[in-house]
Chain A
Amino acid sequence: MSRVVVLGAGIAGHTAALLLRRKLSSKHPVTVVSPKPTYNWIPSNIWVGVGLMKPEQVTIELAPVYRRHRIEFRQARAVEIWPEGAPAEPAPHVVVESTDAAEGGRAAVPYDYLVNATGPRLHFAATPGLGPEANTASVCTADHAAQAARQLRAAIERMKKGERLTFVVGVGHGLCTCEGAAFEYLFNVDFVLRHEGVRERARVVFLTNEAELGDFGVGGTHMRRGGYRVHSKTFAESLYAERGIEWITGAHVQKVEPGVVHYETLDGKEHTLGFDFGMLLPPFAGQPMKAFDRGGADITSEVFAPSGFMKVDADYSPKPFEEWRAADWPKTYQTPRYRNVFAIGIAFAPPHPISKPRKSERGTPITPSPPRTGMPSAVMAKTVAESLFGMIEYGLPGPTRTASLAEIGASCVASAGANWLRGTAASMTMFPVVPDYEKYPEFGRDLHFTFGEIGSAGHWIKTILHHMFLYKARGRAGWWLVPE
C-alpha cells in the first residue's frame, strides 16, 4: 500500500487527486489537504468581479466530490513537511493545522508520495495599502471578486448621478504575475460601463509591470496576421486604443493610499495616480511551510526557494538572461532531494522569469513573474499523476512523464465582455509557453500553433469551458474525457 497526499485543491491539486484516484487501485489511499472547503474555478472570477455571476456559480463543495470518489479530505493547512520522518512519527509526514471550526488542532498526515499543489499566497503585504482589506479590490478569490463587484456597482451608481470617475486596473507590484487576468477584468469593466451607458464619464487606466503591453509575463508572442508576423504588443495596444483605455507600462506600485496609487516606472521616476475604483492584483509567494530533516534541523532553504515555492528538477543556478535555456525548466516536477515529493501548478519554483528581467533606473526590479495558468497547471497534474501511477503500481524507480513549460503549449481565452451576441473574447494559443530560441531561432515559438483573434466565438468558447471544467471538477460521469 502506498499513501499519496495531495496538498491543495486548486486546478492542479484537484486534477491530480481525481486522476490518481482513478488510476490507482483502491488499496492505495489518496488524501487531499486543503484549507478551504470549496474548489474555485478561478478563470471565471472576473465575471463575479463585474457582477455577472455569484461566487456560488464558480465554486463547488469538495467534500461530496471526494466522498463519491473515495478520496480522504482533510480541511487543513499544511505548515510543516518532515520528508524523512521524525522520532515521534517515523514515516514521512506533513503537519497540518485544521481550518475546520468543528475540529481544530494540529495533526501529522503520513505519506509515501507527496504532491505539493498549494497554490500561491496572495502577498498583498508586499505593497502597503494594497488589497481588499485596504484600498484596492481584487479578483483572486470568489469572495474578493464579489466585493469588487459591489464596489464597481457603487461607482456606476455615482456616475449615473453625473460624477466623472477614474478606474485603475492592473497589478500592484513590480514582480506580479497574472497580467492576463488583469487584462480580462479591465475589458469586462469597460464592457459593463458601456452597457450601463456611463463609459463617457469614466477614465479607465491600465497599470502594469509589463515593459510593453501584450507581454503577459511570457515576453509576449509573435503571430501571423494580415501577411505579417506581428508581436502581441501590436494587438494589445490596438485593443486599448480602440476602447479609449489609457495604459502605463513598466510600473512598480510602491504604495496605495485611499484614492491614490504611488508608483515608480522603469525610467526611475515616481508618479501618483488618483482613482475612484481600483483593482490591482497582488504578487504571489509560496505558502509559508517549513521543512525539517529527521533530526529536526530546518531544511526549508534546501526544499523551498526564497520565494516560498518548492524546488523541483529545474536548473536554479543564477545566470544572465542571455544564457537562459529551455532546458532550465523542470520536466517531471520531482524534487531533487526527495524522490517521492513533487510540486505542481503555482507551487513549484520557476528557475527564472520568462520575460526579460528589467530594473528601474533606481534599481527596483520591474519584471512580470512567470504565469502558471490553468491549462499548464492541469497538464502538470496529469503528468505527475501518470508518473506516480508507474512508480506505485509498477515499482518504477522514477517519473516517466514530462511536461516542461518549454515543451508544452497553452490555450488562453481572455474575456473582453460577457454577452452571447455582443460579447467578445481574445482566443490565444502559444507553443511552447517558454520560448525555445534553439528550436525556433526566430521568435522562440512555433507560429503554426501560436495565434490569436478576438470575437464572439471566443466568448462562446470561454463560457463552454466554464461549464465543462466545473463539470470535470465535480467528477461527474466521464469527467476524465474533458481534456486539461
Chain B
Amino acid sequence: MPKPYEREYYVPTPSAATVFFRTFLPWQLVRFVWINLKMVRMISIGHHGRVPLRPIVLPEPGERGSATRAVGR
C-alpha cells in the first residue's frame, strides 16, 4: 500500500472488479476473440502499410522486359 504523498500514491490502480475480470474465464474468452480480431485487422494493414503500394508489373519468367503479369496489392 503506498503511503500518502509517495510517488505510487498518485498512480491509478485497478478496482477489485477490474482485477477480477482479468482472470474471469467467460469474460476472458470474449476478450480472447476480440483481441485476436483486432490483431488480425492490424496485421492485415500493417504488413502492407496503410498507403497502397503501387502495383508491380512483372514479366513472365523468360520474357524479361515484357510486362505481362500484374503482381501487387
Contacts and interface: CB of A to CB of B under 8 A. Distances in A.
Given A238-B12, A451-B38, A484-B47, A390 B31 contact: no
B14 A424 contact: no
A455 B12 contact: no
B61 to A, nearest CB: 6
Interface stretch (A250-258, A276-284, A361-369, A394-402): A394-402
A427 interface: yes
Assign chain B's interface to a size class.
35 or more
A323 interface: no
Interface string A377-414: 00100100000001001111000111110011111000
B20 to A, nearest CB: 11
B45 A449 contact: yes
A406 to B, nearest CB: 9
Contact of B38 (A402, A429, A454, A483): A429
Given A424-B22, A455-B21, A456-B23, A429 B39 contact: yes
A409 B23 contact: no
A231 to B, nearest CB: 12
A139 B68 CA distance: 51
A112 to B, nearest CB: 16
Given A390-B58, A455-B23, A461 B32 contact: yes
A457 B46 contact: no
A241 B43 contact: no
Contacts, number: 106
B22 A431 contact: no
Interface centre among B19, B28, B36, B42 (most CB of A within 10 A): B42
Given A407-B51, A408-B49, A421-B23, A395 B64 contact: yes
A350 B47 CA distance: 19
Interface centre among A395, A403, A422 (most CB of B within 10 A): A395
A411 B43 contact: yes
Interface residues of A, number: 43
A460 interface: yes
A363 B59 CA distance: 56
Contacts of B49: 402-404, 407-408
A382 B42 CA distance: 17
A453 interface: yes
Interface in B21-44: 21-23, 25, 27-29, 31-32, 35-36, 38-39, 41-43
Contact of B46 (A240, A242, A401, A408): A408
Contacts of A390: 56, 58, 71
A400 B35 contact: no
B22 A455 contact: yes
A163 B50 CA distance: 55
B23 to A, nearest CB: 5
A293 interface: no
A403 B27 CA distance: 36
A454 B22 contact: yes
B39 to A, nearest CB: 5
A457 B43 contact: no
Nearest to B49: A407
Given A408-B47, A410-B46, A429-B42, A457 B32 contact: yes
B59 A461 contact: no
A307 B69 CA distance: 42
Contact of A456 (B28, B41, B42, B45): B28
A234 B47 CA distance: 29
B23 A238 contact: no
A237 interface: yes
Given A401-B53, A431-B50, 11 more contacts: A394-B58, A395-B65, A396-B56, A400-B71, A402-B53, A403-B47, A407-B50, A421-B25, A427-B35, A431-B45, A455-B28
Interface of B: 2, 8, 11-14, 19, 21-23, 25, 27-29, 31-32, 35-36, 38-39, 41-43, 45-47, 49-51, 53, 56, 58-59, 61, 64-65, 71
12 contacts: A242-B13, A379-B46, A402-B49, A403-B47, A404-B49, A410-B46, A427-B39, A429-B38, A449-B41, A455-B22, A457-B29, A460-B32
Interface of A: 234, 237-238, 240-242, 379, 382, 390, 393-396, 400-404, 407-411, 421-422, 424, 427, 429, 431-432, 446, 449, 451, 453-458, 460-461, 483-484
Q: Which 7 A-B pairs give the minimum distances between C-beta atoms?
A: A409-B46, A407-B49, A457-B32, A457-B31, A241-B11, A456-B28, A455-B22
